[in-house]
Amino acid sequence: MMVDNAKHIFKNGNSYALRISKQDRLDLGIDEDTNLVKTISPDHKTISFTVINSNDENQAVDDFAKKFMADHKKAFDILKDM
């Protein structure tokens, strides 16, 4: 299924990359110095990138840690009792 905003990955050295259009870059207010946090959904079907400013970096890490702990609560409960 093709959609208007579909993106394709391409080989870039030993990695793969996604191209961000100039308009998307302008809409997001990002450039080559922008830091992003990558999140992969539990079903491994969605990758999202969140723009983080230096002021938001600690909050982004805290949010990730809280989500990770919640997503893996059962495993942490088992480990806690060992």
pLDDT at position 15 is 94
Is the CB of residue 25 less than 8 Å from the CB of residue 31?
Answer: yes
- Tokens read off for 22: 């100039």
Question: pLDDT digits over 11-69, tens only?
Answer: 999 999 988 889 988 998 888 888 888 999 999 999 998 887 766 667 777 788 888 98
pLDDT-based confidence at residue 1 (cuts at 50, 70, 90): very low
Is the CB of residue 13 less than 8 Å from the CB of residue 19?
Answer: no
Question: pLDDT digits over 29-45, tens only?
Answer: 888 888 888 999 999 99
- 3-state SS, 38-81, equals EEECCCCCCEEEEEECCCCHHHHHHHHHHHHHHHCHHHHHHHHC
Closest CA to 50 of 41, 39, 61: 39
